[in-house]
Structure 1
């Protein structure tokens, strides 16, 4: 058996697309008598696969894609109009000019000799050209304003809901660990406000604030001063330490649970006012 065969014989077996990683977390009692973590947190790590977005989430709304499609149709109609008028006896420049004023319906007088074929072609060009122009313009307006307006309205509505919360849990970080913690807290009936630097598009996420957890204004937006518990699930121990110091000054009675990626960070987190440190490694 050759060296290549030996390598194949000792090659690691094929791993399934989902690999469970179990992290045991000790119970952390809070003021209302419930436990923050009642069972081990199981994280399903999934390999990233390149899937077509239409197959992954259904056909998403893509106004920019429709805008470029409409612009392509408009360019095609302009080219056909220029060619058609040129065939009817106009020069290329005159044909392009006549096509543009016809599509834009500015009402200028026709160029050249107007025959029956000229009139029929102009009618068809108006039907297709004006339709393509209006469609492209409407999609452009939607792309520029509607998406931003919808996002702003949604954020304001969610912020009003967060402002009415009290005794909730603030979760900083929505990675693998943060998602697992959020899932368990929601299953336990707790109200959770998530802070993450990225816009989170999760159907099961009721309250979220986009921003850096190290920013005091972001913590205030999440209602930290009215919260009962803070869970720090950021990837960096330094960030967790910084947020813990800030949070303790904002809420002396706040129960703080922090994730630790290094055992040497645990005493520093406790000195910063963390009540429970969970080492995920």
Structure 2
């Protein structure tokens, strides 16, 4: 029951008790309305002032009934008063403390700034990959909506140091700036980069000319949902088979394939071998799409069998999640 409705009921009960007492004393003691109201007030409040007229046996019985009714009303009123002042505050304190405990335990997590349409897709993807993350959103309704999926989220302004610090930005490994305007995304990137220089930042670019500004502000990568959506719509018309393949590797098709990456560790079963010697397709049923060398932006697509595998290389592979776990095991330290 909402607090406003409770207050409404409280006032109605208060008025009925006083009306009941006033009418009763007026009839039983044959006194005027003001004196009857006075008798009602001193009886309900139990202050113990003198009566305005001698009480008849019937009036004494009525007074006893009125006192019992008053005690019930006072108990109800006291309960509502406590709830009004403390219930909501205590609940908020408990929620804030629980949220703080969760935030304090986050490490190597991702901070998602914004829970709009773009942010929701980011949240869903992080959920599927079992990545720890926290959401910062200014709209309270959107925060409550994502919390229904057991997401750690709080109301805050992601462009401020306070909100980012609360989200544990110094312990985070990545940040997604998915706010509704380029200006807010730019401020978020600037603030986040200043606090944590090692953070990987991906920012949403709404206008075409915002990509360079966001990169200069500190974003590692930028994404324009409008541009991606436009290219995809055109590709659906011109290259439907390519889109069907992309749907397959992004879990949109009937085959559960995944395009993922694995880093080779020093001393693993794969390090210092060629692709042919590693026998990755035979051991894992994965397809090696490309290899990325450490510290380089260029990617070697469709590497040859004699391509050497070295520690800290990133293998980009296509296959099922179960087979991906096999490759991760091979790429880990012996």
Shorter-chain TM-score: which interval?
0.7 to 0.9
How far 1:268 sits from its partner (Å)?
Answer: 0.9
* Map 1:67-106 → 2, pairs under 5 A: 67-88=7-28, 89-106=30-47
Partner secondary structure for residue 111 of structure 1: coil
Tell me if the contact between 1:64 and 1:140 (Cα under 8 Å) persists in the aligned partners. no
Unmatched segments (≥5 aa) in structure 1: 1-60
* Counterpart pick for 2:79 among 122, 130, 138: 138
1:42-85 alpha-carbon deviations (Å, 9 max, x no partner): xxxxxxxxxxxxxxxxxxx4234223212211111112211221
**Residue 233 in structure 1 maps to residue 174 in structure 2:** no
* Counterpart pick for 1:115 among 48, 56, 60: 56
**Residue 172 in structure 1 maps to residue 117 in structure 2:** no
Select between 109-118 and 201-210 the one with higher mean Cα deviation: 201-210
How far 1:168 sits from its partner (Å)?
Answer: 0.5
Structure 2 partner of 1:181: 122
Select between 243-252 and 207-216 the one with higher mean Cα deviation: 207-216
How far 1:139 sits from its partner (Å)?
Answer: 1.0
Q: Using a 3 Å threshold, how does the CA distance of structure 1 residues 117 and 183 change in structure 2: closer, same or farther?
A: farther
Equivalenced residue count is 221
Tell me if the contact between 2:203 and 2:222 (Cα under 8 Å) persists in the aligned partners. yes
* Counterpart pick for 1:159 among 100, 103, 118: 100
1:12-55 alpha-carbon deviations (Å, 9 max, x no partner): xxxxxxxxxxxxxxxxxxxxxxxxxxxxxxxxxxxxxxxxxxxx
How far 1:176 sits from its partner (Å)?
Answer: 2.9
Looking at structure 2, the residues matched to 205 and 167 of structure 1 have their Cα atoms a distance apart, in angstroms, of 19
Q: Which runs of 4+ in 1 moved over 3 A?
A: none
Structure 2 partner of 1:39: none
**Higher RCO (C-alpha under 8 Å, 6+ residues apart):** 1
Tell me if the contact between 1:64 and 1:143 (Cα under 8 Å) persists in the aligned partners. no
Looking at structure 2, the residues matched to 142 and 104 of structure 1 have their Cα atoms a distance apart, in angstroms, of 21
Tell me if the contact between 2:160 and 2:191 (Cα under 8 Å) persists in the aligned partners. no
Looking at structure 2, the residues matched to 123 and 184 of structure 1 have their Cα atoms a distance apart, in angstroms, of 68
Partner secondary structure for residue 148 of structure 1: helix
Unmatched segments (≥5 aa) in structure 2: 227-334
Tell me if the contact between 1:209 and 1:218 (Cα under 8 Å) persists in the aligned partners. no
Structure 1 partner of 2:157: 212
Looking at structure 1, the residues matched to 124 and 171 of structure 2 have their Cα atoms a distance apart, in angstroms, of 22
Select between 157-166 and 194-203 the one with higher mean Cα deviation: 194-203
Select between 230-239 and 126-135 the one with higher mean Cα deviation: 126-135
Looking at structure 1, the residues matched to 43 and 65 of structure 2 have their Cα atoms a distance apart, in angstroms, of 10
1:66-105 alpha-carbon deviations (Å, 9 max, x no partner): 2321221111111221122122212211111111121122
Tell me if the contact between 2:189 and 2:201 (Cα under 8 Å) persists in the aligned partners. yes
Looking at structure 2, the residues matched to 212 and 135 of structure 1 have their Cα atoms a distance apart, in angstroms, of 40
How far 1:124 sits from its partner (Å)?
Answer: 2.1
